[in-house]
Amino acid sequence: MTIKSQVLALKYRPQKFKDLIGHEEIAITIYNSIKNNNSANAFLFTGMRGIGKTTFARIVAKALNCENAIESKCEKKCDQCDPIANSNHIDVLEMDAASRTGVDDVRELIEFSRYPPTVSKFKIFIIDEVHMLSKQAFNALLKTLEEPPKYLKFIFATTEVKKIPITVISRCQRYDLSRIKSEELFNYLKNITIKEKKDVEDKAIKLIVKLSEGSVRDALSLLDRVTISNNQSSVKFEDAQKIFGYINKSSYIELLEIIFLGDEEKIIDHYRKLYNSGIEPNLFLNDFLEVLYFLKNISYIENGGNNFSLNDSDYKKITSLSKEIDPNATFLFWEYTLKTLKEINIVANPNLLVEMFLVQLTYLKKKNVTQKYQQNELKNTPIKNVDIKNATNKDAINQIKNIKQEDEKIEKKNTLEINNLDDLIEMCFEKKEMKLKYELENNVNLVSFSNMNIEISFNDKLNKSFVKDLSEKLYDWTKNRWLISFSKEKGKMSAKEKKNIQKKEKITEYKSSDEYKNLLEAFPDIELINLEKKDD
């Protein structure tokens, strides 16, 4: 079945220890233990998807039951190896714990284990995704697992080892299968393309390796997809990009450069080209995070060997850009990107959220780029009359000081004074903090307000986080620490109560007017609910 299958992940599934890649040390350890008749009662293989857990289990089962398999002389023609490979051996039972989780299923296994093997040396139970078993099922398995009959072996596989009780893990010989290294996976895929007579460009294979994240099964599935999707004789890197919807890192690097130049129109235009090419907003933000990571840690990243994340050109660009950008700006961008990722699922159109996010980054960068980057940008700033050829360091420094002073003036101008409760409510309205505005108007009774010290009394409806939220916002708005305290005094009536009293007084006053009396004569059944003053 696996040989004739057209699916590469099954066609090239390893059948012997020597066929495995990336786990040579584990394979040698198990091989030696079986060869010396010193194998464990139970094996536990853990690791991420598609790295060979079930494959390992079947190879171990074959090695235990077929003497030729351990010597690599069996070419899957005997009565042991072939049925095990096809999951239909009478003494090797494979069970999917995801579909059989209950204690009754385990009891059935235990009952079955009482009888010796029919045609082979060992009776073997392979349980895939073993972490899905219930607590009662694990408990029922413990005694048999610790002291099984000599002819019984257990082989477990799981992607989430932390969900397995420690009492079970302690009774197993555990092997953690790591991700396959990029270079090993590349060579493996390259050999398969040669065997399949497929002309796939090395860059395209490297892209498959990157997208597979160390999973052999994912890599083979992607290779299958790219060779089937492309009808041409050869598969180029550009073809793979289109098929997978992958965007070059250079596009993100170019986007960062535009952000630091502050050109909003170019930013939106550049992002829309990426979006139209097929990239999803949440995937864009994750890739943007990856570029920010490279930007901060490029000095610790080796370009080559096992790393296919960056090509030589992108590596040089990021290295150059990292020297010009303040790490504080990178950290700020990182936090803001994470914040946007959290918000992306609560908006109807995530695409618009990303566009606004990119525009906002241009404003954030003004306060966080290094002086060095600002000095470089003086060359590209037409509104500043600076003679670059004859400018001295002093000229550049003075230019930077002027920019900083202008920013400080703007910041100071935009800061509103808060002298009383009405000012604070107005500030909340202007800053779109409607939750705080509602609390201040409805649930707060002012006792005193002076010198950044607010004393209030409150009712039971006041939000528990009100003081914390208001303190943070006041600090953001005024750059000063405010003291907000509770008082046992009753305090003044709330803003809402004042409005209601004023409303009633206006209604009472208007009811005594001639205009209202004339209205009553014309419409005897009218009722006055509210009064509003119009500008006209």
Domain spans of the chain, in order of start: 8-176, 182-244, 267-369, 421-486
Residue 226, both tokens: 């790219």
The CATH class for the domain spanning 267-369 reads mainly alpha
Phi-psi region of 479 (alpha: psi -120 to 50; beta: other; left: phi over 0): left
pLDDT of residue 392: 44
pLDDT value at residue 367: 53
The one-digit pLDDT tens for each residue of the chain (536 residues) are 444 556 888 888 888 888 889 888 999 999 899 888 888 989 999 999 899 899 999 999 988 888 676 666 555 567 778 788 877 888 888 888 888 778 888 888 888 888 888 888 899 999 999 999 888 888 888 888 888 888 999 999 999 999 999 999 999 999 999 888 888 899 999 999 998 888 888 888 888 888 888 899 999 999 988 888 766 668 888 888 778 877 777 888 888 888 888 888 888 898 888 888 778 888 888 888 888 888 888 877 765 545 566 667 777 888 888 888 778 888 888 888 999 988 888 888 888 889 998 988 887 765 544 344 444 444 444 434 434 344 444 444 454 455 455 555 444 444 457 888 888 888 888 888 888 888 888 888 888 888 788 888 877 778 878 888 888 888 888 888 888 887 777 777 777 777 778 778 888 887 788 887 787 777 777 777 777 766 55
Cα 374 to the chain's mean position, in Å?
32
> Which pairing describes strands 444-450 and 453-458: parallel, antiparallel, or unpaired?
antiparallel
The pLDDT score that the predictor gives to residue 56 is 92
Residue 414: the pLDDT is 46
Tokens encoding 404: 């900083």
Q: At 199, phi and psi to the nearest 5?
A: -90, 95
* Residue-wise DSSP of 39-96: --SEEEEE-STTSSHHHHHHHHHHHHH-HHHHTT---S-STTHHHHHTT--SSEEEEE
Assign domain 182-244 to a CATH class. Answer: mainly alpha
Instruction: Compute the distance between CA of residue 476 and CA of residue 212 in angstroms, rounded to an integer.
Output: 44
Task: For residue 392, give both structure tokens.
Answer: 């001295």
Residue 347 CA neighbour count, 13 Å, CB half: 16
Query: Which tokens sit at 449?
Result: 């307000």
Q: Measured between alpha carbons, how far apart are the two ends of the chain, in Å?
A: 85
**Confidence (pTM):** 0.59
Nearest to 206 by CA among 228, 184, 229: 184
Q: What CATH number belongs to 8-176?
A: 3.40.50.300
- The pLDDT value given to residue 309: 65
